[in-house]
């Protein structure tokens, strides 16, 4: 299981400390939520902050773009140091082209789907993605509750990936906690994004260790 703490939930007055904690922990990726206030009703941060984080962050940078017209900024995110760039299916009328552009720049390419979007919409591009981010909350804000029917979407997506021979990993983002991690992994998830569960805990590094000990529920 890959664990990706979401920097959005960190204390922005002490981002260097947050990066050092993730570097020294058992976490695998940094998860970076980029919001524009248009595609989602919130604004987070952009390339400049990621550039600064890249100076301190020593692990894989997984950027999740919750923005309109993401193709306008693909090169800028690569220059900022992103390793994997995920765009939203709902924001990309030319999704296949967007994914190919991301890969042409040397990044891994991901696609995210909102809670209302059916897995079937991924059928024609599933072989072209490295990760599918299943949003298990409505995107835009942290500390929301996990939407239960997301488990059915994860199972359906896993079936599609296996049957198509796709290399895609399944990433689950939203409401992930130590209490539901085993069930989410049991449904077929490969990557867990944990923000509030990590950074609001009394001991974030120990919480990460507990996440990494989690085994899929049968």
Catalytic residue among 33, 36, 62, 130: 33
Counted residue by residue, the chain has a size of 218
Q: Distance between CA 151 and CA 187 in Å, rounded?
A: 6
CB atoms closer than 10 angstroms to residue 163: 10
Which residue is associated with the tokens 């906690």?
177
173 as an active site residue: the answer is: yes
33 as an active site residue: the answer is: yes
* Contact (CB, 8 A) for 134 and 113: yes
Q: At 182, is the secondary structure helix, strand, or coil?
A: helix
Catalytic residue among 28, 62, 130, 173: 173
Q: At 172, is the secondary structure helix, strand, or coil?
A: strand
Instruction: Please give the positions annotated as active site.
Output: 33, 173
């Amino acid at each position: 299981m890959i664990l990706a703490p979401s920097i959005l939930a960190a204390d922005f007055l002490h981002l260097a400390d947050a990066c050092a904690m993730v570097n020294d922990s058992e976490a695998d990726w940094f998860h970076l939520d980029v919001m524009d206030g248009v595609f989602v009703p919130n604004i987070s941060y952009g390339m400049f902050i990621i550039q600064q984080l890249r100076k301190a962050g020593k692990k894989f940078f997984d950027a999740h773009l919750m923005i309109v017209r993401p193709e306008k900024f693909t090169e800028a995110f690569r220059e900022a140091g992103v390793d994997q760039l995920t765009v939203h299916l709902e924001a990309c009328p030319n999704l296949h082209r967007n994914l190919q552009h991301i890969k042409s720049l040397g990044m891994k390419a991901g696609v995210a789907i909102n809670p209302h979007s059916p897995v079937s919409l991924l059928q024609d591009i599933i072989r072209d993605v490295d990760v599918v981010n299943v949003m298990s909350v409505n995107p835009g804000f942290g500390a929301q509750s996990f939407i239960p029917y997301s488990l059915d979407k994860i199972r359906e997506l896993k079936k599609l990936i296996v049957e198509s021979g796709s290399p895609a990993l399944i990433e689950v983002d939203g409401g992930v906690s130590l209490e539901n991690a085993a069930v989410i992994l049991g449904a077929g998830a490969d990557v867990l994004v944990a923000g509030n569960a990590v950074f609001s805990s009394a001991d974030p590094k120990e919480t990460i260790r507990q996440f990494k000990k989690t085994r899929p529920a049968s």
